[in-house]
Amino acid sequence: MNIMDYDTVALDDEKSALVIIDQTKLPYSTELLELTDLKDIWDAIYMLKVRGAPAIGVAAGIGIYLEAKKIARDEKEFSAFLGKFRQAKDYLDSSRPTAVNLSWALNRMEQVVLSHRNQSIGKIVDALRREAQEIRNEDIWVCRAIGEYGLTLIKDGDGLLTHCNAGKLAAVKYGTATAPMYLGKEKGYHFKIYADETRPLLQGARLTAFELQESGFDVTLICDNMAGMVMRNGWINAVFVGCDRVAANGDVANKIGTSMVAALAKRYDIPFYVCAPTATIDMATPTGNDIRIEERKPEEITEMWYTRRMAPEGVRVFNPAFDITDNELISGIITEYGIARAPYSESLKGIFQRKVSGINHQ
pLDDT mean over 135-151 = 97
Cis, peptide link before residue 27, omega less than 30° from 0: yes
Helices (H), ranges, the chain: 38-46, 53-74, 78-93, 100-115, 121-151, 179-186, 203, 209-214, 227-232, 258-267, 299-302, 344-357
| 362 lies in some domain | no
Cα–Cα distance for residue pair 105/7, rounded to 1 Å = 19
Q: Which of 158, 244, 251, 282 is catalytic?
A: 244
| Domain assignment present for 245 | yes
Strands 238-241 and 159-162: parallel
Q: Do 163 and 138 sit in the same domain of this protein?
A: no
Same domain, 175 and 224: yes
Residue 4 has pLDDT above 90, yes or no: no
Q: pLDDT value at position 219?
A: 98
Do strands 338-340 and 281-282 pair parallel, antiparallel, or not at all (unpaired)?
A: unpaired
Contacts of 102 (CB under 8 A, 6+ apart): 45, 53, 56, 57, 60, 92, 93, 95, 96
Q: With the C-alpha atoms ordered 40, 44, 50, 52, is the resulting torsion angle positive or negative?
A: positive
Same domain as 53, residue 98: yes
Name residue 162's beta-bridge partners: 195
Residue 205: DSSP 8-state: I
- Let me know whether 95 and 163 are in one domain: no
Rounded distance between C-alpha atoms, residue 55 and residue 45, angstroms: 10
Domain boundary among 118, 142, 166: 142
Compare 222 and 53 and report the one with higher pLDDT: 222
Mean pLDDT score across all residues of the chain = 95
138/187 same-domain check: no
Determine the 3-state secondary structure of 12 from DSSP: strand
DSSP 8-state assignment for residue 207: I
Task: Judge if 36 and 175 occupy the same domain.
Answer: no
Using CA atoms, how far apart are residues 330 and 265, in angstroms rounded to an integer?
9
Question: Are 38 and 75 in a shared domain?
Answer: yes
| Whether 177 and 308 share a structural domain | yes
Do the domain assignments include residue 30? yes
Residue 55 lies in a domain: yes
Contact 302, 310 (CB under 8 A): yes
* Same domain flag for 308 and 240: yes
Residue 362 confidence class, pLDDT cut points 50, 70, 90: very low
Mean pLDDT of 238-249: 97
- Which residues face 196 on adjacent strands? 222
Domain assignment of residue 148, yes or no? no
User: Pseudo-torsion of CA 154, 159, 161, 167, nearest 10°?
Assistant: 60
Q: Looking at residue 1, what is its pLDDT?
A: 61
Structural domain range at position 47: 3-142
User: Residue 238 maps to which CATH number?
Assistant: 3.40.50.10470
pLDDT value, residue 292? 93
pLDDT tops 60 at residue 361: no
244 catalytic, yes or no? Answer: yes
How far is residue 241's CA from residue 227's CA, in Å, rounded to a whole number? Answer: 13
Residue 271 falls within a domain, yes or no? yes
Predicted confidence (pLDDT) per residue in 7-24, tens digit: 899 999 999 999 999 999
What percent of the chain is predicted at pLDDT more than 90?
93
Q: What is the pLDDT of residues 36-90, one digit of tens each?
A: 999 999 999 999 999 988 999 999 999 999 999 999 999 999 999 999 999 999 9
pLDDT bracket for residue 360 (50, 70, 90): low
- Cα(230)–Cα(236) distance, integer angstroms: 7
Q: Is residue 303 a contact partner of residue 310, using CB atoms and an 8 Å limit?
A: yes
Query: Which pLDDT band, with edges at 50, 70 and 90, does 138 fall under?
Result: very high
Q: State the Cα–Cα distance between residues 126 and 122, nearest whole angstrom.
A: 6
Q: Is residue 42 part of a domain?
A: yes
- Considering the domain architecture, whether residues 196 and 172 belong to the same structural domain is answered as yes
Q: What is the pLDDT of residue 358?
A: 78
Neighbours of 219 (CB within 10 A): 21
Contact 268, 239 (CB under 8 A): no
Per-residue burial over 233-255, b if 16 or more Cβ lie within 10 Å, else e, is eeebbbbbbbbbbbbbbbbbbbb
Last residue of a domain, one of 111, 142, 173: 142
Specify if 147 maps to a domain: no
Of 115, 142, 169, the residue that ends a domain is: 142
CATH number at residue 98: 1.20.120.420
Q: How far apart are CA 281 and CA 262, in angstroms?
A: 19
Tell whether 100 and 195 lie within a shared domain.
no
> How many separate domains does the chain show?
2
Is residue 21 located within the same domain as residue 138? yes
Classify strands 218-222 and 252-255 as parallel, antiparallel or unpaired.
Answer: unpaired
